[in-house]
Amino acid sequence: MTRNSDFVDVDPWETQDKEDTAEAYYNQPLRQKHRILTDENLRLKRLLRENGITWSPIATAHIHAVKHGNSGRMTRRRSLAAAPTNPYLPTEVLLRILKYALTAPLSIFDPLSKLRLDTVTAEEKARGNQIAIHFLATCRAMHTEGTRILWGHNSFTFTSPEALRNFAELDLNHRKGIKSVSFRIIAQFYDDKKRRHRLHHTYHQSLRKDHQLPVNMRVNEQTYARGGFRCYSWSQIVDFLAALRPPFDPKHDKKQIRPRLLPALESLHIDLVNFTADKLPMFGNDMHNMASHELGCSLNELYVTGLPIDDPGVKASAELTGLLRDEGLYMTGVPAYVQTKRGVLPLSGRPICARVIRAYKSLRVGSLGTSTVPVDDELSDSEDTDFDALDGSGLDAHHSHIPTMPAAPAQEGHPTSHREDKVIWKRVPISRNSGERKWVEFCRSSGYPLEPPADKNGNDDDEEDDDSISICPCCGEPHPGTFLDQLLDEAD
């Protein structure tokens, strides 16, 4: 008999289960039918091969070689005796050739998926094939080593959530070594009326005039379905992040946690295209749920370009910081691309704006994770640092997780500072598209870069405020220490 005390009175909250979603995607009818036909095709080929029946010229040559005692599996001594004049290359040289042939100088777009030409620039279309993929079909050894080189020594850019989900077809052994990827998220606009929508020239400083916003025309349905001018922008970011969740694997032990799509992902670069200010609507809590809970505190570095400077853009920036670990590096910049009727066009870049996320925790509770910053007793008692205000900051999306997530690893080899307990050093790119980086000193309490004060002789002045911050290169304005301080200033 069940007692009333055995029941728990808890109200459920509405959401879609990620396990069911991943399994439903895995068991889609076309995908399941394709797997069945592939297995059946392999069984039929095996039966034909065992009975000496050919089905292609390649199979004919293979069966002929087997009948004449030449199976193709010869030792090195036999191969040299059969063809003494053939050149021989050492294995080390073959691996270097294979690595050169399968390593692309630039990023590869949408691997394992069909590339949409309206998502790349004219220069990217003209690149052609950057790698010699046919090396993988040479032999089994080349295929094994080449596959490892292909997925371990290239960078990848995804332009749609579907392309990112299709990446789950790759074996986990190859996906778990990828530490950095890029997203190019282009806002899509739809309308069921023939109207011209404007992309304002304030979208980027290099645009001299307004442009027509690319709009996908749809049929005007005479139903109660909501139509008109609509967009697929903020929810597209959520779909990209949702694609990083663990894919379904029927062979995985159900008692163990399934690994994410990219288990070792540390750095994420997001290019937002056509995310115009004062045009996109405010979004709900889906981004917060995905960035701060599903994937919260998982990245060491996040770089986002193209965020609009309006209320939705500020909220999106705050929500995306939930992806970063404590003391993670968050960088923003002006739009890198624009999509017009002529396609995707690259835009000139300016210096990026960087700050460190939740670095103030070491000032109060000591070291977290890999951080080794000591606690300053004088600083903890100082009236200038209000930790309650820092905890209530609206600039960073963060929740107190149990257990505590580890902080981002400290970067070694940085210059010395006269107040190591109040600052943190990070290597920041010198420009948007540059791989070269420089050391930048950040204030732990505010998270923004420090501008070292200098006296008349050009030396650092210790009497100046250590928490002084530089002008933001993106907006040209000095940032406040916390979002709460800004609200208090406006109230005064």
For residue range 268-310, what is the model confidence (pLDDT) as tens digits?
999 999 999 988 999 999 999 999 999 999 999 999 999 999 9
138-161 mean pLDDT: 94
Please list, in sequence order, all residues whose beta carbon lies within 8 angstroms of the beta carbon of residue 108, skipping any fewer than 6 positions away.
130, 131, 154, 155, 156, 157
Q: What is the DSSP letter of 438?
A: E
Let me know whether 188 and 280 are in one domain: yes
Choose among 257, 351, 259: nearest CA to 303: 351
**How far, in whole angstroms, is CA 296 from its chain's centroid?**
13
Average pLDDT score, the chain: 80
pLDDT at 375: 41
Q: Which two tokens stand for residue 263?
A: 């288990």
Let me know whether 111 and 168 are in one domain: yes
Q: What is the DSSP letter of 421?
A: T
Let me know whether 330 and 358 are in one domain: no
How many residues are recorded in the chain? 492
In contact, 238 and 287? CB cutoff 8 Å: yes
Distance of alpha carbon 266 from alpha carbon 319, whole angstroms: 18
User: Would you say residue 86 lies in a domain?
Assistant: no
Q: For a pLDDT cut of 90, what percent of the chain falls above it?
A: 48
Asked whether the predicted pLDDT for residue 391 surpasses 60, the reply is no
pLDDT at 30: 77
Let me know whether 166 and 183 are in one domain: yes
Asked whether the predicted pLDDT for residue 328 surpasses 90, the reply is yes
Distance of alpha carbon 358 from alpha carbon 142, whole angstroms: 46
- The strand pair at 180-186 and 211-212 is best described as unpaired
Confidence of residue 399 (pLDDT cuts 50, 70, 90): low
Backbone angles phi, psi at 314, to 5 degrees: -65, -40
Omega before residue 335 within 30° of 0, cis: no
User: Would you say residue 429 lies in a domain?
Assistant: yes
Which DSSP string do the residues of 60-92 spell out, in sequence order? Answer: HHHHHHHHTT--S---HHHHHHH-TTS----HH
Let me know whether 120 and 27 are in one domain: no
Cβ-count burial of 41 within 10 angstroms (0-12 exposed, 13-18 middle, 19+ buried)?
exposed
Please give the tally of structural domains in the chain: 3
336-340, 364-368, 421-425: which is most confident: 336-340
Distance of alpha carbon 297 from alpha carbon 323, whole angstroms: 5
List 109's β-bridge partners, or say none.
Answer: 157
User: Would you say residue 64 lies in a domain?
Assistant: no
Which DSSP string do the residues of 267-309 spell out, in sequence order? Answer: EEEEEEES--TTTSPP--SHHHIIIIIISTT-EEEEEEE---S
Let me know whether 283 and 412 are in one domain: no
Distance of alpha carbon 346 from alpha carbon 121, whole angstroms: 7
Cβ-count burial of 275 within 10 angstroms (0-12 exposed, 13-18 middle, 19+ buried)?
buried
User: Would you say residue 328 lies in a domain?
Assistant: yes
Q: Which amino acid is at 212?
A: Q
* Beta strands, E only, 92-147: 108-109
User: Would you say residue 475 lies in a domain?
Assistant: no
Domain of 243 in residue numbering reads as 107-128+155-217+227-248+258-349
Place of tokens 């600052």: 423
Confidence of residue 400 (pLDDT cuts 50, 70, 90): low
pLDDT at 70: 56
Confidence of residue 377 (pLDDT cuts 50, 70, 90): very low
pLDDT at 11: 53
Distance of alpha carbon 356 from alpha carbon 363, whole angstroms: 14
Question: What SS3 state is found at 321?
Answer: helix
65-69, 339-343, 386-390: which is most confident: 339-343
Let me know whether 175 and 264 are in one domain: yes
Asked whether the predicted pLDDT for residue 441 surpasses 90, the reply is yes
In contact, 481 and 386? CB cutoff 8 Å: no
Q: What is the DSSP letter of 291?
A: I
Let me know whether 310 and 358 are in one domain: no
User: Would you say residue 38 lies in a domain?
Assistant: yes
Let me know whether 330 and 442 are in one domain: no
Q: Which two tokens stand for residue 150?
A: 């292909």
∠ CA 319-323-326 to the nearest 5 degrees?
105
Output the pTM of the full model: 0.77
Q: Which amino acid is at 258?
A: R
Q: Which two tokens stand for residue 136?
A: 């993988």
Let me know whether 212 and 237 are in one domain: yes
Which of 302, 317, 349 lies at the terminal end of a domain, its last residue?
349
Let me know whether 297 and 233 are in one domain: yes
In contact, 165 and 245? CB cutoff 8 Å: no
65-92 mean pLDDT: 61
∠ CA 417-420-424 to the nearest 5 degrees?
95
Q: Which amino acid is at 489?
A: D
Asked whether the predicted pLDDT for residue 482 surpasses 50, the reply is no
- Span 210-240, pLDDT tens digits: 999 999 988 888 888 888 889 999 999 999 9
In terms of pLDDT, which residue wins out, 267 or 397?
Answer: 267
Exposure b/e, 374-413, CB count within 10 A at least 16 = b: eebeebeeeeebeeebbeebebbbbeeeeeeeebbebeee
In contact, 471 and 477? CB cutoff 8 Å: yes
User: Would you say residue 369 lies in a domain?
Assistant: no
Let me know whether 335 and 416 are in one domain: no
Asked whether the predicted pLDDT for residue 406 surpasses 50, the reply is yes
User: Would you say residue 422 lies in a domain?
Assistant: yes
In terms of pLDDT, which residue wins out, 430 or 452?
Answer: 430
In contact, 199 and 186? CB cutoff 8 Å: no
> Helices (H), strands (E): how many in the chain?
16, 16
